A and B are shown apart, each in its own frame.
Chain A
């Protein structure tokens, strides 16, 4: 996006006009339409960059993430990772591609198999990726566990997930994502299931791993207050589209899209004064992705919607300054 970033760093991941649609069928065969979970998303990410995707549940964040992980097949558009076009890869290459990306799940307890010990959990990716030497596997497990601060390592190796606290479980999940030394990590709400005091610890751990290994991280969340500690850019997603993309500082200080404004207004900081006033919340609920509203998808809930424009035509991208892109008609109209 930003020309500055592109000059300095190599592009790692480039997504162009990505569509992920799921077909709906009645009784298993007759076609009923599509769930347009991701509908025309484009962005580029540099090596070592951290990006947060912010949006509510059902906005398509998870579908986007799964497509990047190589689990979903894009309906249209392309996803290029280090020059490899994902939709053109054979199954062997796709497998190798998946070794380059680590996945940190939302619910650590659900993500860890209950019948495997920590050692088995961490050994599995190494076995699958073909590390045949047992000594090497153990060495790498030790190294990664030390990195995620699960030490003394020996105390944890033979424990099962249920014997660990929530924070420790999430460390195991992170260790599993890191063990193949990936170039990129996709973290899906990595701290939303954790307690406040542990949350910060895990975020700081992810941050330090990111800096140490120059990882690219896609951080998927609905919690704007944690974003600024973690990412350089924020993408705001609504009903399958990215409605605003901007560097974190700029988005927090100068948000433009009405939906971004609503999200920021709804985020509270602990303050006794909050109890005295009502929050402004846009009316209604996110639209169905089967039959999204015509024009701007936010227009039925938007207080500033322009009749005859917002409900008719899809908004074009507007770039008030390099690197800050907003898909909203308001900013086209105001410009001469």
Chain B
């Protein structure tokens, strides 16, 4: 246990997750570092196929069978959870320290269990509570996420998409973890429901002091919760920084172009698009992975760019050297 790490709720160092496939090794997460303080929310932004979801799986150790390489350090409240055995991890970390609201969570509820039983399950299994105690906790959490209490007696199919998403969130909250990983929490929802869910997340952050890792490709919605932003491209994090610094002036060329591609309701800027496609994670290019699409590339870009610190911000780009 290092002393520096105890300052942070979560600290990730050089996290790697590679998958074996018949065609070769997919380097889905390739050396990710970042830190997150207590009661902060970090947004991990990236396009599809950049390794965002794999990162969430790597954090929660929900791994498929074809893992080729899984390494690095993940400190949760100072404890290196990568050192734990599977059983220790299950008992001390998953749900208790850190829980996940998976992608399309509203469709991942068990259709034959009532809402109340489902939300109570993690509390019964991980906190060892009795059924009545657990149900008390369930009521409390449902209140936090804005689900009417009589819904505990209902089945998931009787609920709308937004309500089911809230139930999934209540389930992640019921064990009072310090950190919740949200994988695309609003992508399948309607506009007004999205705004509602973002309101709920903000309220939970204020009321319960929970930290969030929000994984999404929806840049506009992500700004509703972000304290910090991390931009992911081709398995790597290319820029991190405080949201207040990042949104007005991103540093990495990819972040800049990504931000410029967002259509805006309240300004007349003409959105641009990024030419080309992200590289294959099977065989990523040497040096900077964005170089092929970058308008500012120069000779140095063929070498792996260093991570450059600029105050609180970090950017992985030769331009800022």
> Smallest CB-CB separation from B270: which chain A residue?
A229
| Contact present for A224 and B265 (CB under 8 Å) | yes
Q: Which residues of A contact B259 (CB under 8 A)?
A: 270
| Contact present for A222 and B190 (CB under 8 Å) | yes
| Contact present for B192 and A263 (CB under 8 Å) | yes
Q: Which residues of A contact B67 (CB under 8 A)?
A: none
Q: Which residues of A contact B124 (CB under 8 A)?
A: none
Q: Which residues of A contact B84 (CB under 8 A)?
A: none
Q: Which residues of A contact B261 (CB under 8 A)?
A: 196-197, 199-200
| Contact present for B265 and A279 (CB under 8 Å) | no
Q: Which residues of A contact B262 (CB under 8 A)?
A: 196, 225, 269-270
Shortest beta-carbon distance from B38 to chain A in Å = 16
**Apart from A271-B247, A272-B244, A279-B224: 15 A-B pairs, beta carbons within 8 A:** A57-B190, A197-B47, A200-B261, A200-B263, A225-B263, A225-B264, A265-B195, A268-B195, A269-B262, A269-B266, A272-B223, A272-B246, A278-B203, A281-B195, A281-B199
How far is A197 from B290 in the complex, measured between Cα atoms in Å? Answer: 14
Interface size class of A (residues with CB under 8 A): 35 or more
| Contact present for B192 and A204 (CB under 8 Å) | no
Q: Which residues of A contact B225 (CB under 8 A)?
A: 275
Contact with B along A196-215 (1 / 0, CB 8 A): 11111101100000000000
Nearest 10 Cβ contacts at the A-B interface: A266-B195, A201-B273, A197-B274, A56-B190, A195-B47, A272-B243, A272-B244, A200-B273, A225-B263, A225-B265
B residues 206-234 near A (Cβ < 8 Å) are 217-227
- B291: interface (CB < 8 Å): no
B residues 54-91 near A (Cβ < 8 Å) are none
Give the residue of A229, A266, A271 whose beta carbon is less than 8 angstroms from that of B263.
Answer: A229
| Contact present for B48 and A195 (CB under 8 Å) | yes
| Contact present for B223 and A270 (CB under 8 Å) | yes
- A285: interface (CB < 8 Å): yes
Q: Which residues of A contact B277 (CB under 8 A)?
A: 165, 167
**Most A CB atoms within 10 A — which of B41, B193, B199, B273?**
B273
Contact with A along B36-54 (1 / 0, CB 8 A): 0000010000011000000
Shortest beta-carbon distance from A102 to chain B in Å = 23
List 18 A-B pairs, Cβ < 8 Å: A167-B277, A195-B217, A197-B47, A197-B257, A197-B258, A225-B265, A262-B192, A266-B195, A267-B191, A268-B224, A269-B267, A272-B246, A272-B247, A275-B223, A275-B227, A279-B195, A279-B224, A282-B192
Q: Which residues of A contact B217 (CB under 8 A)?
A: 195-196
- A252: interface (CB < 8 Å): yes
Q: Which residues of A contact B263 (CB under 8 A)?
A: 199-200, 203, 223, 225-226, 228-229
Q: A197-B47, A225-B265, A266-B191 are in contact. Are A272 and B199 (CB under 8 A)?
A: no
B residues 152-174 near A (Cβ < 8 Å) are 160, 162
**Most B CB atoms within 10 A — which of A224, A269, A270?**
A270
How far is A282 from B258 in the complex, measured between Cα atoms in Å? Answer: 31
B residues 231-269 near A (Cβ < 8 Å) are 243-244, 246-248, 257-259, 261-267
Give the residue of A196, A262, A264, A282 whose beta carbon is less than 8 angstroms from that of B265.
Answer: A264
Using a CB–CB cutoff of 8 Å, the interface residues on chain A facing chain B are: 56-57, 165-167, 195-201, 203-204, 222-226, 228-229, 252, 262-272, 274-275, 278-279, 281-282, 285
| Contact present for A200 and B190 (CB under 8 Å) | no
B residues 102-126 near A (Cβ < 8 Å) are none
Give the residue of A56, A165, A204, A285 whose beta carbon is less than 8 angstroms from that of B273.
Answer: A204
Give the residue of A197, A229, A269, A282 whose beta carbon is less than 8 angstroms from that of B220.
Answer: A269
| Contact present for A56 and B48 (CB under 8 Å) | no
Please report whether the interface of chain A is mostly helix, strand, loop or mixed according to DSSP: helix
Q: Which residues of B contact A195 (CB under 8 A)?
A: 47-48, 217
How far is A167 from B261 in the complex, measured between Cα atoms in Å? Answer: 15
**Most B CB atoms within 10 A — which of A252, A262, A281?**
A281
Give the residue of A196, A204, A222 whose beta carbon is less than 8 angstroms from that of B219.
Answer: A196
**Most B CB atoms within 10 A — which of A196, A252, A268?**
A196
Give the residue of A225, A269, A272, A281 whose beta carbon is less than 8 angstroms from that of B196.
Answer: A281
| Contact present for A279 and B199 (CB under 8 Å) | yes
| Contact present for A269 and B265 (CB under 8 Å) | yes
How far is A161 from B234 in the complex, measured between Cα atoms in Å? Answer: 23
- B198: interface (CB < 8 Å): yes
| Contact present for B219 and A270 (CB under 8 Å) | yes
Q: A57-B190, A199-B261, A266-B194 are in contact. Are A278 and B271 (CB under 8 A)?
A: no
Q: Which residues of B contact A225 (CB under 8 A)?
A: 220, 262-265
Shortest beta-carbon distance from B126 to chain A in Å = 30
Shortest beta-carbon distance from A152 to chain B in Å = 16
| Contact present for B224 and A274 (CB under 8 Å) | yes
**Most B CB atoms within 10 A — which of A223, A226, A285?**
A285
- B297: interface (CB < 8 Å): no
Q: Which residues of B contact A285 (CB under 8 A)?
A: 160, 162, 193
How far is A252 from B270 in the complex, measured between Cα atoms in Å? Answer: 16
Shortest beta-carbon distance from A231 to chain B in Å = 13
| Contact present for A197 and B224 (CB under 8 Å) | no
| Contact present for B247 and A196 (CB under 8 Å) | no
- B202: interface (CB < 8 Å): yes
Shortest beta-carbon distance from B270 to chain A in Å = 8
Q: Which residues of B contact A165 (CB under 8 A)?
A: 277
